[in-house]
Structure 1
Amino acid sequence: MASDYHRPTRFPPTMFEGYLGAEDPAHVSRVAHDTAAALLARVREDPDPDVVARLVAYTDEHGIDAIAELWSHASAKSLPGALWRVYLLRALIRQDPGGQALAFQRGAEVSHTIDQVVAGAAIPAGPDEVVELADRILHGLFTGDFAVALERAAAFARVSAAGFASLADDADAADTTHPDRSAALTTRALRLTQLADEFASCARLWRRDSLD
């Protein structure tokens, strides 16, 4: 299958249209798994810096929807599911680096774990630092220890979740007339906690050679 992917950094629009129009869930799942495995194998076998850089920045040019069409319906505990979630985390960070940096910094202050160390973010972590960290984590999937990259993503998500939960408490105390802000922050904390659990599960599966 890998021989079919001579240019792993670009997916023609017609390819995505074909995937989107597929009606057989089993076919969609198989395509997701095959493309994720082929892409990762090709790049890790020959991690050309320019190719990796283009892969990391792929959604900046093509949008997150391009990746979503291909991998977002895959199981959370699968290779395409793991790749999709790291791209999604990166997109969330880049959409609101200031808010994400604030949440991460707050999480580092209120949580009593080594997660901020595992994540590898600078302390204090400003918007530029969290954006850079997201790129380094995604870069690590293609060139480094895949499980370690997922564990870093999990650690970042856990710290950020703790931060958003703390900020939600602040919002509750500061303004009881606008509960929507607190609810939104709480929802973000819960979603990041879920992401962290999924990253950690995928890392364990990868170490057992069971992530496919």
Structure 2
Amino acid sequence: MPVRPVSQAFDAHRTGSTRPARPAQLDDVQLNQMGSGLSPEQVSEMSHQSALALLHRVHESKDPALVTRVLTVVENEGLDIIAELWEKSEPETLPGMMWRLYTLRLWMRQNPESLSRFWRLGEPVVGAASAITGIDEAPTAENIAATADSILAGAFVGDFSVALQRASAFVMIEAAGMDLLAAREAHELPELEERRLADSDTRRRMAHISALRATASRLAQTGKDFRSGAALWKQGKLE
């Protein structure tokens, strides 16, 4: 299964209904106002308030049913409701981190086979960082899916900075694996002077290599965003 390309953080395609929904019972008035002609400043303030309210409510409750409901809001309601709240938030903000955590989970669950392969390539390169994620050296697709849930769940019921550190380590290892695979595939291509531009297979392979490298670059940046977010949270500056 090919990995979906990433955009701002991950290419977690929007699915499901666009109707207002209530992840962890966010205020209906807030959700109904999203995208209804509010100024950018008002939308930004609402994004920050909703992220903080959701995080604190679940953390204080620790109700397993509520945690499950929050984790599966994308499956049940579609990514649009999360996007309306947080997609445009800057990475050094709480809603920006929440958006990236949700899209990371969806991306991991959509591509478990491919990501397990990239992990096995990248883990020896990155090394000790793999211990942070809690993933085995040779993860299965089921391991990847379970880790996707545990990272997001940890953001709500554990130490938020630890969840961000786990997310950072995971995407950095995946990026390393993609870079290594791209290098191997590039090495296997015929020498430049032997390539025929009319060769559709060569063009396809070159496009695949280019996509891998671009995805790895964006993942590496997202990993840095997660790491920066973890540091800001520890300092009490992630808002």
Taking structure 1 as the reference length, what is the TM-score of the superposition?
0.90
Structure 2 CA distance for aligned equivalents of residues 13 and 41 of structure 1? 18
Change (3 A) 1:161 1:112: closer
Check the 8 A contact 1:171/1:181 in 2, yes or no: no
Structure 1 CA distance for aligned equivalents of residues 128 and 35 of structure 2? 41
1:163-202 superposed matches below 5 A: 163-175=177-189, 177=202, 178-202=205-229
**What SS does the corresponding residue of 2:35 show, helix, strand or coil?**
helix
Q: Report the alpha carbon displacement of residue 15 of structure 1 after superposing the two structures with TM.
A: 5.6
For structure 2, the 5+ residue unaligned runs are 1-21, 191-201
**What SS does the corresponding residue of 1:21 show, helix, strand or coil?**
coil
- Of 121, 130, 133 in structure 2, the residue corresponding to residue 119 of structure 1 is 133
Check the 8 A contact 2:26/2:50 in 1, yes or no: no
Answering whether residue 86 of structure 2 is matched by residue 59 of structure 1, we say no
Q: Report the alpha carbon displacement of residue 196 of structure 1 after superposing the two structures with TM.
A: 0.6
Sequence identity (%): 35
> Per-residue displacement from partner, 1:118-176 (whole Å, max 9, x unpaired)?
11112211111011001000000000011011000000011010001111112212346
Answering whether residue 174 of structure 2 is matched by residue 147 of structure 1, we say no
Q: Give the paired residue count.
A: 205
Paired amino acid for 2:141: P
Check the 8 A contact 2:24/2:58 in 1, yes or no: no
Structure 1 CA distance for aligned equivalents of residues 227 and 85 of structure 2? 22
Check the 8 A contact 1:8/1:42 in 2, yes or no: no
* Structure with max Cα Rg: 2
Q: CA RMSD in A?
A: 1.9
**What SS does the corresponding residue of 1:183 show, helix, strand or coil?**
helix
> Per-residue displacement from partner, 1:11-70 (whole Å, max 9, x unpaired)?
689865531233411111011000001111111111101100111111112222221111
Paired amino acid for 1:47: K
Structure 1 CA distance for aligned equivalents of residues 29 and 208 of structure 2? 40
Structure 2 CA distance for aligned equivalents of residues 14 and 40 of structure 1? 18
> 1:4 matched to which residue of 2?
none
For structure 1, the 5+ residue unaligned runs are 1-6
> 2:42 matched to which residue of 1?
27
Check the 8 A contact 2:178/2:212 in 1, yes or no: yes
Compare the two structures and name the one with the higher helix fraction. Answer: 1
Check the 8 A contact 1:171/1:182 in 2, yes or no: yes
Answering whether residue 209 of structure 2 is matched by residue 209 of structure 1, we say no
**What SS does the corresponding residue of 2:34 show, helix, strand or coil?**
helix
Change (3 A) 1:19 1:117: same
Q: Report the alpha carbon displacement of residue 8 of structure 1 after superposing the two structures with TM.
A: 4.8
Query: Higher relative CO (CA 8 A, sep ≥ 6), structure 1 or 2?
Result: 2
